[in-house]
Structure 1
Amino acid sequence: MIAYRIFPWLFITCLCVCICSYGQPGTRSEKLLLDNGWRFHLGDIPFPVIRGNSESYNASKAGNAGGAAAVKYDDSQWRVLNLPHDWAVESDVDSSANVAQGYRKRGFGWYRRSFTLDSTDKGKNLELQFEGIATHATVWVNGQVVRYSWSAYNSFYIDISAIARYGKEKNQIAVRVDADAMEGWWYEGAGIYRHTWLVKRPPLHISTDGVFAQPIKTADGSWLIPAEVTLENTGNKSAAPQVNIAVYDKYGKQVTSAQANATVDVLDKAVVKLNLHVNNPELWNIESPVLYTVKTVVTANGSNDQVTTKCGFRTIRFDADSGFYLNDKHVKIQGVCNHIDHVGVGTAMPDALWAFRIQKLKELGANGYRCSHNPPSSILLDLCDSLGMVVMDENRNFNTSPEYLAQLEWMVRRDRNHPAIVLWSVFNEEPIQGSPVGYEMVRRMSKIVKRLDTSRPVTAAMSGGFFEPVNVSQAVDVMGFNYEIKGYDRFHKEHPTQPMTSSEDASGVMVRGEYVTDKTKHTLDSYDTQFPSWAATHRVAWKAIAERQWMAGCFVWTGFDYHGEPTPYTWPTVNSNFGIMDICGFPKAAYYIHQSQWIPNKNVLHLIPHWNWPADSIGKPIKVMALSNADNVKLLLNGKLIGEKKNDLYEMVSWEVPYKPGKLEAIGYKNGKEVSRYVVETTGVPAQLQLIPYKDTLKNDGQDVTPITVQVLDAAGRPVPTANNHITFEIKGAGNIIGLGNGNPNSHEPEKGNQQSLFNGLAQVIVQSQPGAEGVLTITAKAEGLQPATISIPFKKVPAVAAVQ
Structure 2
Amino acid sequence: MLLLIACVNVNAATRERLSLDRSWLFHQGDVVESAIAGHGDSYSNAKAGNATGAAGNEYDDSDWRHLDLPHDWAVEGPFDPKANIAQGYRPRGIGWYRRYLRVDPADRGKHFELQFDAIATHATIWVNGNVVNRNWSGYNATYIDITPFLRYGDAMNTIAIRVDADAMEGWWYEGAGMYRHSWLVKRNPVHVVTDGVHATPRLVKDKQWSIPVEVTLNNSGKAASDVIVEVTLYDAAGRQVAQRTAPARVGVLANSTVQLPITVNNPAIWTLEKTNLYRVTTRVLQAGKAQDEVSLNTGFRTIRFDAAQGFFLNGVHVKLQGVCIHQDHAGVGVAVPDSVWEYRLRRLKELGVNAIRFSHNAPAAEVLDMVDRMGFVVMDENRNFNTSEDYMKQLEWMVKRDRHHPSVVLWSVFNEEPVQATEVGYEMARRMSAAVKALDDTRPVTAAMNGGFLTELNVSHAVDVVGANYQVPDYDRYHKAYPNKPFTSSEDTSAFMTRGEYKTVKEKNLIASYDDDAAPWGNTHRDAWEAIDKRPFVAGGFVWTGFDYRGEPTPNEWPSVSSVFGIMDLNGFPKTAYYIHQVQWIKDKPLIHIAPHWNWKQGDKVRVMVMANVERIQLLLNGRALGEQKVDPYRMNNFDVAFEPGKLEAIGYRGGKEVVRTAVETTGAPVSLELVPDRAQLNGDGRDALPVTVRALDAQGRAVPLADNEVTFAVTGGGRSIGHGNGDPNSHEDEKGATRRLFNGLAQLIVQTNYDAKDAVMISATAPGLQAARVTIPVKPVAAEPFVAPADAPLTFVRSWRIAPDGDTRPDPNQKLASFDMNTWGWGSPPMRAAAGSKYHLYRASFTPRKNLADGTGRIRFASLKGKAEIWLNGALVGKKDSYAAAPLDVALPAGDGKREINVLIEAEAGQGGGIEGNVTIEPAR
Write the distance in 1 (CA, Å) between the matches of 2:678 and 2:237.
29
Contact 1:22–1:308 under 8 Å retained in 2: no
Contact 2:119–2:176 under 8 Å retained in 1: yes
Q: Which residue among 308, 311, 320 is the counterpart of 2:295?
A: 308
Q: Which residue among 682, 686, 700 is the counterpart of 2:684?
A: 700
1:639-658 correspondence to structure 2 within 5 Å: 639-658=623-642
**What is aligned with 1:18?**
none
Q: Are 1:158 and 2:144 counterparts?
A: yes
**Secondary structure of the equivalent of 1:191?**
coil
**What is aligned with 2:452?**
465
Contact 2:82–2:89 under 8 Å retained in 1: yes
Write the distance in 2 (CA, Å) between the matches of 1:147 and 1:157.
9
Question: Unpaired runs of 5+ in structure 1?
Answer: 1-20
**What is aligned with 1:800?**
784
1:453 deviates by 0.3
1:250 deviates by 1.2
Contact 2:670–2:696 under 8 Å retained in 1: yes
1:564-575 correspondence to structure 2 within 5 Å: 564-575=551-562
Write the distance in 2 (CA, Å) between the matches of 1:638 and 1:736.
45
1:219 deviates by 3.2
Write the distance in 1 (CA, Å) between the matches of 2:556 and 2:755.
43
1:26 deviates by 7.3
Letter in 2 for 1:798: V
1:25 deviates by 4.2
1:733-748 correspondence to structure 2 within 5 Å: 733-748=717-732
Write the distance in 2 (CA, Å) between the matches of 1:620 and 1:155.
55
Q: Which residue among 156, 160, 163 is the counterpart of 1:170?
A: 156
Q: Are 1:373 and 2:357 counterparts?
A: no
**What is aligned with 1:52?**
38
**What is aligned with 1:627?**
611
Q: Are 1:436 and 2:423 counterparts?
A: yes
**What is aligned with 1:42?**
28
Letter in 2 for 1:82: D
Contact 1:780–1:788 under 8 Å retained in 2: yes
Q: Which residue among 494, 501, 511 is the counterpart of 1:514?
A: 501
Q: Are 1:285 and 2:271 counterparts?
A: yes
Give the aligned length: 782
Write the distance in 2 (CA, Å) between the matches of 1:619 and 1:719.
23
**Secondary structure of the equivalent of 1:75?**
coil
Q: Are 1:230 and 2:230 counterparts?
A: no
Contact 2:8–2:785 under 8 Å retained in 1: no
Write the distance in 2 (CA, Å) between the matches of 1:620 and 1:361.
34
Q: Which residue among 242, 265, 280 is the counterpart of 1:256?
A: 242
**Secondary structure of the equivalent of 1:344?**
coil
1:152-551 correspondence to structure 2 within 5 Å: 152-300=138-286, 302-551=289-538
**What is aligned with 2:915?**
none
**Secondary structure of the equivalent of 1:520?**
helix
- Deviations for 1:260-283, whole angstroms, at most 9, x for unmatched residues? 001110000011001111121100
Contact 1:434–1:470 under 8 Å retained in 2: yes
Letter in 1 for 2:89: Y
**Secondary structure of the equivalent of 1:314?**
coil
TM-score, normalization by structure 1 = 0.96
- Deviations for 1:597-647, whole angstroms, at most 9, x for unmatched residues? 000112111111111113xxx223110010111211101111111101111
**Secondary structure of the equivalent of 1:54?**
helix
Write the distance in 2 (CA, Å) between the matches of 1:687 and 1:169.
61
Letter in 2 for 1:643: G
**What is aligned with 2:595?**
608
**Secondary structure of the equivalent of 1:186?**
coil
Contact 2:72–2:175 under 8 Å retained in 1: yes
Q: Which residue among 665, 685, 691 is the counterpart of 1:681?
A: 665
Contact 1:22–1:31 under 8 Å retained in 2: no
Write the distance in 1 (CA, Å) between the matches of 2:390 and 2:8.
29
**What is aligned with 1:12?**
none
TM-score, normalization by structure 2 = 0.84
- Deviations for 1:283-312, whole angstroms, at most 9, x for unmatched residues? 001001110111111012555100111110
Letter in 2 for 1:703: R
Letter in 1 for 2:280: V
Write the distance in 2 (CA, Å) between the matches of 1:227 and 1:335.
31
Contact 1:561–1:583 under 8 Å retained in 2: yes
Letter in 2 for 1:122: R
Write the distance in 2 (CA, Å) between the matches of 1:773 and 1:430.
48
Write the distance in 1 (CA, Å) between the matches of 2:505 and 2:456.
44
1:42-191 correspondence to structure 2 within 5 Å: 42-191=28-177
Q: Which residue among 669, 694, 709 is the counterpart of 2:653?
A: 669
**What is aligned with 1:15?**
none
**Secondary structure of the equivalent of 1:132?**
coil
Letter in 2 for 1:199: V
Write the distance in 1 (CA, Å) between the matches of 2:174 and 2:675.
30
Q: Are 1:721 and 2:705 counterparts?
A: yes
Write the distance in 1 (CA, Å) between the matches of 2:279 and 2:430.
35
**Secondary structure of the equivalent of 1:487?**
helix
1:23 deviates by 7.4
Letter in 2 for 1:152: G
- Deviations for 1:431-489, whole angstroms, at most 9, x for unmatched residues? 01000100000000000000000000000000011111111000000000001111110
Q: Displaced runs of 4+ in structure 1, greater than 3 A?
A: 21-27
Write the distance in 2 (CA, Å) between the matches of 1:268 and 1:435.
41
Write the distance in 2 (CA, Å) between the matches of 1:343 and 1:506.
23
**Secondary structure of the equivalent of 1:513?**
coil
Letter in 1 for 2:444: P
Letter in 2 for 1:450: K
**Secondary structure of the equivalent of 1:263?**
strand
- Deviations for 1:71-106, whole angstroms, at most 9, x for unmatched residues? 000000000000110000001111000000000000
Q: Which residue among 669, 672, 675 is the counterpart of 1:691?
A: 675
Contact 1:483–1:534 under 8 Å retained in 2: yes
**Secondary structure of the equivalent of 1:431?**
coil
1:498 deviates by 0.5
Question: Unpaired runs of 5+ in structure 2?
Answer: 1-6, 790-926
Contact 1:240–1:261 under 8 Å retained in 2: yes
Contact 2:8–2:784 under 8 Å retained in 1: no
**Secondary structure of the equivalent of 1:736?**
strand
1:753 deviates by 1.8
**Secondary structure of the equivalent of 1:408?**
helix
Structure number with higher relative contact order (C-alpha < 8 Å, ≥ 6 residues apart): 1
Contact 1:24–1:306 under 8 Å retained in 2: no
1:47 deviates by 2.6
Letter in 1 for 2:654: K
Write the distance in 2 (CA, Å) between the matches of 1:602 and 1:743.
29
Contact 1:683–1:720 under 8 Å retained in 2: yes
Contact 1:560–1:579 under 8 Å retained in 2: yes
Letter in 1 for 2:492: D
Largest Rg, 1 or 2? 2
Write the distance in 1 (CA, Å) between the matches of 2:11 and 2:253.
27
- Deviations for 1:357-376, whole angstroms, at most 9, x for unmatched residues? 11110000000000100111
Write the distance in 1 (CA, Å) between the matches of 2:188 and 2:374.
34
1:28 deviates by 2.3
Contact 1:23–1:29 under 8 Å retained in 2: no
1:798 deviates by 1.4
Write the distance in 1 (CA, Å) between the matches of 2:671 and 2:398.
52
Percent identity among equivalent residues? 56
Contact 1:23–1:306 under 8 Å retained in 2: no
